[in-house]
Structure 1
Amino acid sequence: MTRKRRLDPFPYLLLLPAVGLMAAVNGLPIVQGFYMSLLKLNQFTLGQYLDAPFVGLDNYRRVLFDPDNPLRAGLGHALRNTALFTLTVSTLAIGIGLGVALLLNRDFPGKAIARTLLLLPWIVPSYVVGTLWGFMWQRDTGIVNTVLVDWLHLLDDKPFWLLGANSFWAIVIPTVWRAWPVMMLIFLAALQAIPEEPYEAATLDGASRWQQFLHITLPLLKPVIVIQLMFQIIDNVYSYNIVSMMFGNGAGFPGEWADLLMPLLTRQSFSYWLFGQGAAVSFVTMALMLLFVAVWLRAFRQSMTHDED
């Protein structure tokens, strides 16, 4: 006869203060934000705040289905840019981070110093990155055009980087520049955790470096790549700081090719004082991202189960 295992409540009591604090810090703003999305909170009722008129799901209806809603102006361009931006930045940041991690995983003089220096872009605050690259992209005085045109002579004329289709790359490159060092650090830690035995066996079998990378390194790094790609996608969908600082601290319009979802939402909500509808858009975005995370993790779990079989 098997004895039932007795549940010890003591560890859970120790965790209770931390759980309560995290629930308060994260849960209360979410609950209040959702309640704001149910209110008619605008320039006329802002003084009432949470006592503003209750309109239920009308904010969601207007955001999703009202073609004359100011918050929907430019939404198509912002969604397109956000999708392309997220795909491009996530792919480049992970690719560059993994490539540099593979180089740093070798022994060479000054390895620790090189690793520290390569982390500098990640240490710089995103607001500073946006301001710094905003000056660098200037057509006549920016260092980018000076290098490309005056020094290297790769271009005949100095292009406008903050106007037109070039503005898309003007926000992609600084974001990748800041994101890839942390990817490098994570991949480097994962590479150093891989044992040497599989590589030694592959070398004895005559496998090349490329074959070892494809059949040993990549499969063992798959969990890390999948999770980091998910984090990158979430982070880039909510990207705001670099764009807002580069094009006017949230008040300026970055143009058709550089306007992302979060800057659009912030600009339109504060320009038209539609705070209730802005909260509704935020919760729709959050719901979609939660759905994405659930599907992503489920697919990853099934893929890992299939690989084990």
Structure 2
Amino acid sequence: MKKKVIAVVAALLVTGSVFTGCGQKDKASSASAGKGKTLYFVPIVDTGAYWSPMKKAAQDEAKALGYELVFKTSPSNEPQKNEKHLGFVDEAIQNSAAGIAVAPMDPDMFDKKIKEVKDANIPVVTFDADVKTKGNRTSYVGTDNKLAGEELGKQAAQYLKDKGIKSGKIAMAAVNLTQTTMTYRQAGIKSGFEKVMGDDAKSFTWLEPIQDNDQAAESKKQLEGQITANQDMVAVFSLGSEGPDTGVMEAIKSQNKAGKIYHFGFDYTPTWENGISTGLITGIVDQDSYSIGKTVIDVLDKKIKGEKVDENYPVSVKWVPADKIVDYGKEKQKQFTTETK
């Protein structure tokens, strides 16, 4: 009898240990299933007509694919912006992110850090701008900013030619003139302008570019000074963001130069609609930023799953003359609403 009792107790102990082991295994599996599902998304900023749709697209796609998306960015006027964003990438590495997407503001400064991501075996996608060493990142998603600048420069030159304008001063305004996207856009604009204008390009003078750190009052003040000093100014390019867009239009208006100084801009924003009827905007080239945000997440997901990805995912720009901007904006809003459902 004693032997039977001992046998039963032993059996129960064995059974209990098996159940406990299964429970621990289930918990471990559950815990591991939750790991590796965090993506970091580090844009230059996350507000405005260009960045906001990109952010929304990344959020929607990450959620649909089962990832937690961590956004990290800083204001345009952040004094140590490059260093701060490099710190965000460090944080992602330390937290063993499944993938990292970053818009590098300086191709050299971010190059080494992106390689650190690669060395940590974390897929890294650059977007909006690229790093110096292409082999340091997994893929690049976005516009070729030099080609986008060329398109705007060509359209502007053709517009001036059609108006019979063969000489004059040209201004530029940007948030940050040393930012990679802005240096490429400046070079592209001048290249495209010269290609279409031909020999007459030598009769135009490019003024010192304006930097306003996304402060409309600053670009307005600086451009007003340039207009006053250069009464033969015929065109101005704003290279993207609300500060330069608004500041340039306000300066043209305050100096009574609407219809005399032609304004060419980057990226759609409802702000342009305030200047159409008064001749404060002539035309823009626009990027599909929603597509950029979605594609970035898709590429990271494919790479995480071990699928093949391309080195580059180019996003083209579209020329939109002033009289088409309102309708174009409505179509973009429809697309955005449909895609975010």
The TM-score, its normalising length taken from structure 1, stands at 0.24
- Structure with larger Rg: 2
More strand per residue: 1 or 2?
Answer: 2
The TM-score, its normalising length taken from structure 2, stands at 0.22
